[in-house]
Structure 1
């Protein structure tokens, strides 16, 4: 295999990685590591391109020195990108001091006409140091990216050994020069592949988190954390599955807080919000895991009680809810007394779809309001079809 083929292959592989990192860098709010890795692979790409262009000249001193000057600049960019990606607070100026020292070594070797081994060892030791640092940082944070950093650590450690041993082996076995470039290309490709995988894993995590947040925004009330009205229809279908046994029923409790508006008007909406959150917490503390609770308006809540065997069980739930609503709510150094009007409807006694059941419960709740507030009533239809309300609280 000729040098042209080896370096053209390396150039092509590095170009693909450059394009991938540039693509990830353009993703909004992307991790800064991607931009640094795009810069580092650019210098690796330029180093390989320089080799391809200078090989026909046959001047090994010029070829090796030009390659080394560009290759050294890749390493601090690569390590800086890793530190930025992992959020490691490193003294990055030392990366550039080390790179500058390697460049000065190359300049001195060029002007003093040093041997190939002496010229190579100076920057090879620096490059090996960078590789071992990358391996160490990656190993420390190996669990952050679903195993990708395991590969980064292994490839970087192997690359560090390669940089230390390679110049010595080439000095004794010049034929190893081509083999060393092939091995180096493979290890560098594994490094950047693992870093790209870690970056894409981060994107996947962001996508999953964003999806979860979107679902929360779509289905949960942002203030109280209860389900919202939109999601309640879907949950009701699941609740009906729990009411398939004979004599089982589902109860709809429509809760409208009493005396809430004066709190908002006198104490402010921020206090009103705290009151609503406290009420929501009390509701969640009463209901069972199979029940459903939702906020459907400013101070209106719905509880869907499942697996009930009788109306009396629904009354007991309403009694517990009312007792909680009648207790003072502490916000800061002040206490507020509310109360609640609760209307009840039953599936399948009053209706078989959620919309009509809510209408029935809402009607019962307004009757509580008309009767003086702070109570509960169950909706009951007359035999002739006219609605009738049965007061129970």
Structure 2
């Protein structure tokens, strides 16, 4: 009765794994190992069904040959799936050759009735134990970064199954009841093995989803050319800056930067060179700002720097002068020097506005005042009814 329960429950669970692995293997860009493992556990389920159907009714030699052929086919497909999953292509040819030799040996045993059963069982045990040991070693030695913790479980189950196959036939000869106990033990180990493989494929799916989410967030929040924050993300970062600026006497400066002489460079040297100029500008902005400041690209050649946690308005002049000095330095690309410049308009929170849009509008107005008069300078925003603020020009 226990023998029948083990067979029925084990075979049923095997077919569940077959369905799951087949379904997963149909998902686009799934590792090819899943399909091989689906075929492998299908072979294992068929071997169990055969063993159950012929138990006690068929010729023991025929049962041994048929069961051995299906079980060895399972181990071959399992090993090839591991090789494909871990990208160990050099190991696939020896596995196929070993499977071919075993198939020839089983065919010979079928044609030669006098061949002793121990010779057949020894060959089967050596082949299955060897492939399972190979799987265990491969899983321990080759661990891809997205494997998680499933490979050690696969290695452990494979190693125990290798030991199980190496000792099964001698134990059955000495201790006949081991046939039922060993079958139950093997069923549990096989289930652990394929459960760990299924977990490995699902772990890959999880990594693909998290990587796709991370990439989507980067596309949503970062400028793809320069790597700076984009205009969409600038608002969220600015809210965090305001939370820090609520402390007494803290100011926030919004610097609106429009590059001078960029269009002639873009037109004469080409868009690829223009893109490299913008990337160099972004690099210089990162160098000139602190970790608490915010740098963003909001247009073709327009940038914004938000200087946070300022205690005095005089600090704004030093920041603007530093930005202007770095942006006015020639940019060298492939041995050619490209002169650049910048017109910078600056607004202060809370003096010139309490929202990002109002501060950008004020800084934009100050920037256009610089651009329309002298270029290569900076100016603080001043209200129409206030005297003009001082500006620096180069």
Q: Normalising by structure 1, report the TM-score.
A: 0.95
1:148 paired to 2:143: no
Which residue matches 1:84?
84
Mapped to 1, the partners of 2:266 and 2:297 lie a distance apart of: 17
Residues 10-159 of structure 1: pairs in structure 2 closer than 5 A = 10-55=10-55, 57-113=57-113, 114-142=115-143, 144=145, 145-159=147-161
User: Does the 8 A contact of 1:22 with 1:34 survive in 2?
Assistant: yes
Structure 1 residue 326: deviation in Å?
0.6
Change (3 A) 1:110 1:87: same
Structure 1 residue 339: deviation in Å?
0.3
1:188 paired to 2:190: yes
Which of 233, 236, 239 in structure 1 is aligned with 2:235? 233
The total of aligned residue pairs comes to 390
Structure 1 residue 56: deviation in Å?
6.3
User: Does the 8 A contact of 1:143 with 1:149 survive in 2?
Assistant: no
Aligned residue for 1:381, secondary structure, equals coil
Structure 1 residue 206: deviation in Å?
1.6
Output one character per residue of 1:28-84: Cα deviation in whole Å (capped at 9) or x when no partner: 211121111112112112212222333363432222221111111111211111121
Mapped to 2, the partners of 1:198 and 1:56 lie a distance apart of: 39
User: Does the 8 A contact of 1:377 with 1:389 survive in 2?
Assistant: no
Structure 1 residue 91: deviation in Å?
3.3
* Structure 1 residue ranges without an equivalent (≥5): none
Mapped to 1, the partners of 2:104 and 2:84 lie a distance apart of: 27
User: Which stretch shows the higher mean deviation, 182-191 or 351-360?
Assistant: 182-191
Mapped to 2, the partners of 1:283 and 1:96 lie a distance apart of: 59
Output one character per residue of 1:202-240: Cα deviation in whole Å (capped at 9) or x when no partner: 222222111111110000000000000000000000001
Which residue matches 1:334?
336
Aligned residue for 1:30, secondary structure, equals coil
Which of 201, 205, 208 in structure 2 is aligned with 1:206? 208
User: Does the 8 A contact of 2:68 with 2:124 survive in 1?
Assistant: yes
User: Does the 8 A contact of 1:148 with 1:195 survive in 2?
Assistant: yes
Structure 1 residue 298: deviation in Å?
0.2
Structure 1 residue 365: deviation in Å?
0.4
User: Which stretch shows the higher mean deviation, 320-329 or 20-29?
Assistant: 20-29
Structure 1 runs, 4 residues or longer, greater than 6 Å off:
none
User: Does the 8 A contact of 2:86 with 2:144 survive in 1?
Assistant: no
Say what the alpha-carbon RMSD is for the aligned residues.
1.6
Which residue matches 1:242?
244
User: Which stretch shows the higher mean deviation, 330-339 or 99-108?
Assistant: 99-108
Structure 1 residue 172: deviation in Å?
2.2
Which residue matches 2:310?
308
User: Does the 8 A contact of 1:345 with 1:379 survive in 2?
Assistant: yes
Mapped to 1, the partners of 2:383 and 2:365 lie a distance apart of: 11
Which of 258, 264, 268 in structure 2 is aligned with 1:256? 258
Output one character per residue of 1:354-383: Cα deviation in whole Å (capped at 9) or x when no partner: 00000000000000011121100000124x
Structure 1 residue 127: deviation in Å?
0.6
Which residue matches 1:278?
280
Residues 210-221 of structure 1: pairs in structure 2 closer than 5 A = 210-221=212-223
Aligned residue for 1:266, secondary structure, equals helix
Mapped to 1, the partners of 2:9 and 2:90 lie a distance apart of: 34
Q: Normalising by structure 2, report the TM-score.
A: 0.95
User: Which stretch shows the higher mean deviation, 309-318 or 83-92?
Assistant: 83-92
Which residue matches 1:293?
295
Aligned residue for 1:92, secondary structure, equals helix
Mapped to 2, the partners of 1:332 and 1:198 lie a distance apart of: 47
User: Does the 8 A contact of 2:83 with 2:91 survive in 1?
Assistant: no
* Structure 2 residue ranges without an equivalent (≥5): none
Structure 1 residue 123: deviation in Å?
1.3
Which of 172, 175, 184 in structure 2 is aligned with 1:173? 175
Aligned residue for 1:390, secondary structure, equals coil
Output one character per residue of 1:305-353: Cα deviation in whole Å (capped at 9) or x when no partner: 0011122111110100000111000111211001000000000000000
